[in-house]
Structure 1
């Protein structure tokens, strides 16, 4: 069962004008589109199209969960979170409309770079993403846990602004995640493999990502949960010991010794000097 691709020039809801196919395969496709809600200055959007039957064959409640999830994501407005503008069902497909970000995800940038990223750049991304996670975790209707924070799910645009993307497996509320998929090896906290989901798993995923960016050490290639044994400043002398210590606490395999919330991590990061002093 494959998706029915839209063609350039087609319109959805008499509002979204399809410009081009960005990617397509199997049961989903992604498009660039113009949003005609304001015809004199149409905004460029990204639309993800998904075939409903493919998912409902595996999970009869998938469509209900989709609607609930995107109703919540539609409410998330934060500069470091990919903005959701609309979601709807049309002719056996569901559509998710977001900003179209011009840039690359951090996994792509890591693959293209032959060195580590500037410490202050990574530090700035860390603060922004901490704030975004705290915003999600303190949602008035209950904690929203991403559960898959990793380089591939963080997009950096042409202005070097980082945003959390790809909420395909993002949880709605922490209390509804018992059967939800796990995160990704190397970035998932140990307790995720036991089905324990709290804001601390996103803290771990973010810290694992920042450590990877600062050191160039891919956590998927070493012993599981071993980043804590290699403080960032010992692998990259440009990283201050204070920055490395904060990351090491955020990478503790035992959540009892880790920051329990993104706000705790943010509060520790914001008061430190991330760059090591140069030795003259």
Structure 2
């Protein structure tokens, strides 16, 4: 159990409270060892907490120098030379995180010997100063005190301060090093024969890489390290499209096909980046065939994207190479599905659904499937009915039929037909495991026929009615993960967001395989560009699921946006916990009045987690600007919780 003093010190260190720290450093009985968090993720990406002596923590945190000085005065200069578990002293850490005033204090209190200590990896204080992202003042001061030779002292891996500067600092530092020791140092080989070019390619922007090319020539971009990796390979992993475009201007696109370590090309490296921007750029410039180039183990960029990137990358790859992606196997017979590690549930569902035989929309003939000599009816709506049919490609699919005569409601029917046609036009280019697959649309003298995949299962509304109970929280979480993934796909279309405009439990199917699918795109609408959509004087959709702004259109328009879909999605989340939408006790014709009055949305009942309740409330914020979008929801703690 931590003592009261330890708790106070930890809180002050994590808050960067210099005044409180100075008071506590005057009271603490020793250079106490503490477990403290709040570290910069760039410098300590894998550590939530670090256990080190107090002096080490002071050297890492944005606090006053006087706190360390007080500790030295009380407990001696041994505070400066004491090593943590990695062999680092407070001097090493101060060089990495503070300015030259800390180095001056070290020299004054402990002498120059403190600045010559190396850690277990053979790294000097200069190595740490070269990793200081805030300032190069410590490095400049050390060179002034110890001489410029400290810049090229290798650690046990042969890396020098020059290599580390290329990765962690900026052009001004490189120009300063050039003035101190010339440009030959930038060709020095470090661990595994890596040069400063390899290190600069690991920086998040390409400014240092551009500077090095200007000074040493573009041939350095393709110098391989011991494994065969070049700066080009590393830039594809660590930098962005701007860097790849710049490399293309320097040496052309052939470099992107160069094989590096494990026989991997830049596509493999780009597929390990957390987003797929570089992978998309490479496909556009070099061709989609590179997605299936195998490395030494037979793994392709598809395998690696399945491991490191979100589900939308898999959709992008499918759009490029189709069902071939599901058949790819490495030399251990592993497919992309076996590589899913992050976002596992959504990606496995996507791959599982996509790996099934793809439906063929090019059929030319079909017949209704009969049951007791009648067409097999599987659903019905306001104007149309859905039947099961078989095609001349020997596939069973669903067809929605809207008759074009005989209803007695010709005006409304015509509107319904036009909406279905528009929905079909939008739907036909969508391919996502959580969206029902559209096949084709046909119109004849007697009706409009819309063909989609046949989903074996039930709508969520029907399931609740049959079971006479709401969904359990694990079911709500699974639904939310999958449908939010489908909505993210719709809202992030490159041509502009696609809105469903009628999200509710009746328009979501749960298949026999446990996949949630969004159906009925009759009210779907596309937003061109990034602006909101305004259309018509009457809001479309189902009243209980409509966002408040849809009842408050200015003039003669209704402001649809991706955020109106998010409101309906949130109402559906509520519906799954209560078997009815929010405010279902309010008469339908009055729901617009209730929404416009801004009455607080009903809360999800006790018995469900705080995470689910917050997830729902983020969807139904009355202010569309503050309302969550799909990106926020996909990162919400409710979805990452275990079922």
TM-score between both structures, scaled by the size of structure 1: 0.78
- Rg comparison, structure with higher value: 2
Counterparts of 2:503 and 2:599, CA distance in 1: 16
Q: 2:566 aligns with which of 203, 209, 218?
A: 203
Q: Which runs of 5+ in 1 are unaligned?
A: 1-12, 276-280
Superposition pairs of residues 183-262 of structure 1, within 5 angstroms: 183-193=541-551, 194=553, 195-216=558-579, 218-222=581-585, 224=594, 229-232=601-604, 235-237=605-607, 239-259=608-628, 261-262=629-630
Give the aligned partner of residue 127 of structure 1.
481
Give the aligned partner of residue 45 of structure 1.
397
Q: Post-superposition shift, 1:196?
A: 1.2
Counterparts of 1:45 and 1:219, CA distance in 2: 34
Q: Post-superposition shift, 1:18?
A: 1.5
Q: Post-superposition shift, 1:208?
A: 1.1
Q: 2:633 aligns with which of 260, 265, 268?
A: 265
Counterparts of 2:498 and 2:436, CA distance in 1: 15
Whether the 8 Å contact between 2:403 and 2:446 is mirrored in structure 1 is yes
The yes-or-no answer on 1:178 pairing with 2:550 is no
Give the aligned partner of residue 3 of structure 1.
none
| Closer, same or farther: CA 63–113 of 1 in aligned 2, 3 Å | closer
Q: Post-superposition shift, 1:274?
A: 6.7
Q: 2:389 aligns with which of 29, 33, 39?
A: 33
Q: Post-superposition shift, 1:120?
A: 1.3
Counterparts of 1:241 and 1:68, CA distance in 2: 40
Superposition pairs of residues 69-218 of structure 1, within 5 angstroms: 69-173=423-527, 178-179=535-536, 181-193=539-551, 194=553, 195-216=558-579, 218=581
| Closer, same or farther: CA 240–62 of 1 in aligned 2, 3 Å | closer
Q: Which runs of 5+ in 2 are unaligned?
A: 1-362, 587-593
Deviation per CA, 1:65-113, whole angstroms, max 9, x where unpaired?
A: 6544323211111111111011122224221000111221111122223
- Structure (1/2) with the larger helix percentage: 2
- My pick for the range that moved more, 13-22 or 92-101, is 13-22
SS in 2 for 1:186: helix
- Structure (1/2) with the larger strand percentage: 1
Deviation per CA, 1:110-155, whole angstroms, max 9, x where unpaired?
A: 2223333121121011011011011111122211101111111111
TM-score between both structures, scaled by the size of structure 2: 0.36
- My pick for the range that moved more, 169-178 or 133-142, is 169-178
Counterparts of 1:243 and 1:25, CA distance in 2: 32
Counterparts of 1:35 and 1:202, CA distance in 2: 34
| Closer, same or farther: CA 183–274 of 1 in aligned 2, 3 Å | farther
| Closer, same or farther: CA 213–27 of 1 in aligned 2, 3 Å | closer
Deviation per CA, 1:188-210, whole angstroms, max 9, x where unpaired?
A: 11112231100011111111111
Whether the 8 Å contact between 1:128 and 1:162 is mirrored in structure 2 is yes
Give the aligned partner of residue 15 of structure 1.
365
Q: What number of residue pairs does the alignment pair up?
A: 256
Whether the 8 Å contact between 2:582 and 2:601 is mirrored in structure 1 is no
Whether the 8 Å contact between 1:56 and 1:63 is mirrored in structure 2 is no
| Structure with more relative contact order (C-alpha pairs < 8 Å, separation 6 or more) | 1
Q: Post-superposition shift, 1:218?
A: 3.6
- My pick for the range that moved more, 117-126 or 249-258, is 249-258
SS in 1 for 2:369: strand
